Structure 1
């Protein structure tokens, strides 16, 4: 279990429990005696919460922290099985994908990676919007990031911030924004796409067969999904 994944899991757990109780971030912060900003950073996985702060947040919701261990990557298999049992419309709605896409700048882009796989029915975990962008549009994208409190992933620190925003600068093409996390595949020309429609909205996505050839992260998740199907006799 990597420290980065653990931070993300803790943030997701706090957010889920807060939403179940119809609490705003500010209300939870007041109950726990922390700032609303701290709650926001923890829920987005941008800050590693100290044990005392985490315990105060959970105690404010009548919860306590437990600790367990599992085989490495077992969480992925469990997550895939859980997603496979849920309707695709529910999985898409959970991401609030349309809202984030509507906030992006008006420039050519297509959906790729795990996001594209999910839109085509694959029960793969998605923790960020993944898009393909052209290098020639990087300056416009950078201006949008600046206007939307963008921070770039800092692999050295294991968190967002402290590195240049521009895609041309060294580092992963991964940013947090006030609207959600975005991962980008930068390319000279956008890949060929197909259209899929959900809830009356069309999405231009990279086909599954192409994802398996060009997107290592998505390809690995798709292989795990097929392995789970075979193991269960599906």
Structure 2
């Protein structure tokens, strides 16, 4: 049975908090008194955690769960508003992009999707590094994924792992690696890019105007943000 939205959100929250603390699943499991396999299933949304297990995991990271209800999609608007109120430098640094990008030196790629929108100042939620990769470089990409313990997203079961890594094989182009999650757009040629700079680093990103045309999810987030700005200005 596919995971519910709540189970997926709980798993994502645990994973994000663990990554922020640079803990491994094994370290978190030991601190919470659970098995590493249980932590993996919870983070992947493969298992609905008991309240006791969830509280133990969060307490091990010095955080707690706050429960509330809201109209559907209000969470997304609230997230956009919250991101808009924060400095872009903070939003970029908390993603840990540099650490992951530094481990992709031999793979020709450019940043696209919501990640590219964020780097250009748009306050859109970003869950993973999104890159465009050429089909001709898929062998290099596959080798990198294998070397870095990549697991591919299995949409049928709602978990990472259990299917072929290679982009040519059927499945979403989404992988979990030991350095973080990567989502790829496979293409014949890399899209045109511009350069943006944050701190002492320059990033090659797909421009916002192109994102709205070629990236449905990022385009929808950008339109949602623009509509909220127009509503508030009016």
- Structure 1 length-normalised TM: 0.87
Please name the residue that 2:227 is paired with: 227
Which range moved further: 159-168 or 206-215?
A: 159-168
CA shift in 2, pair 1:206/1:55, >3 Å: same
The answer to whether the 8 Å contact 2:46/2:158 transfers is no
For the aligned residues, what is the CA RMSD? 2.7
Q: How does 1:3-22 map to 2 (within 5 A)?
A: 3=3, 5-14=5-14
Please name the residue that 1:213 is paired with: 213
Gaps of 5+ in 2: none
Q: Work out the number of aligned pairs and report it.
A: 231
Please name the residue that 1:139 is paired with: 139
SS in 2 for 1:103: coil
Q: How does 1:44-59 map to 2 (within 5 A)?
A: 45=44, 47-51=46-50, 52-58=52-58
CA distance in 2, matches of 1:169, 1:16: 28
Please name the residue that 1:116 is paired with: 116
The alpha carbon displacement at 1:228 in A equals 1.3
CA distance in 1, matches of 2:65, 2:58: 7
CA distance in 1, matches of 2:42, 2:102: 25
The alpha carbon displacement at 1:30 in A equals 3.2
CA shift in 2, pair 1:116/1:4, >3 Å: farther
Mapped pair 1:69 → 2:58: no
Gaps of 5+ in 1: none
Q: How does 1:37-186 map to 2 (within 5 A)?
A: 38-39=38-39, 42-43=42-43, 45=44, 47-51=46-50, 52-58=52-58, 65=65, 67-186=67-186
Which range moved further: 30-39 or 180-189?
A: 30-39
The alpha carbon displacement at 1:151 in A equals 0.8
The alpha carbon displacement at 1:231 in A equals 2.0
The answer to whether the 8 Å contact 1:113/1:131 transfers is yes
CA shift in 2, pair 1:41/1:94, >3 Å: farther
CA shift in 2, pair 1:174/1:18, >3 Å: closer
The answer to whether the 8 Å contact 2:42/2:49 transfers is no
Please name the residue that 1:188 is paired with: 188
The alpha carbon displacement at 1:57 in A equals 2.5
